[in-house]
A = this chain, B = another copy of it.
Amino acid sequence: MFEPREEFHRFIKQKGLKVTRQRDLIVDTFFSINAHASVEELYDEIRKREPGIGFATVYRTLKLLKESGLAREWNFGDGHARYEHVTDADEHHDHLICVDCGAIEEFENEDIERLQEQVAAQHGFQLTHHTMELYGRCRKCSRIQRNGR
């Protein structure tokens, strides 16, 4: 089983930093909510559990989560960074994003990855990473649109 809080403690101690009540709360909350939450969404949920927490602390802890490899940051163009849980160091995936409801789905496609490597090679690039976001209307929102609702 994957224990984010323990992994985080390992990281924190290895860096000579301190385990705090606030950090634990933020990490626990982060992993308990939707995998692509914005800072605001995360902050709101955290305040429900403990109203006194400052948002600077949330930003600071998210930075540590990124550094530790437990979170990955994405920007899908709405000006709000979103953070995703990383539970397996090797996993890689891209995103489908609904332009109506904002739903985010993940996908992996080996063939596309291969073609991307090919394109890069043709241009003399050595790839380090990539982003691919497919925007459109999700199943639910297409249905609603079709039914005129």
Binding site for B on A (CB under 8 A): 75, 77, 96, 98-99, 105, 107, 109, 111-112, 115-116, 119-120, 122-139, 142
Contacts and interface: CB of A to CB of B under 8 A. Distances in A.
Total copies of this chain within the assembly: 2
Given A131-B131, A135-B130, A136-B120, A125 B96 contact: yes
Contacts of A127: 134-136
B125 A129 contact: no
A112 B112 CA distance: 6
Contacts of A136: 120, 125-129
A124 B99 contact: no
A134 B111 contact: no
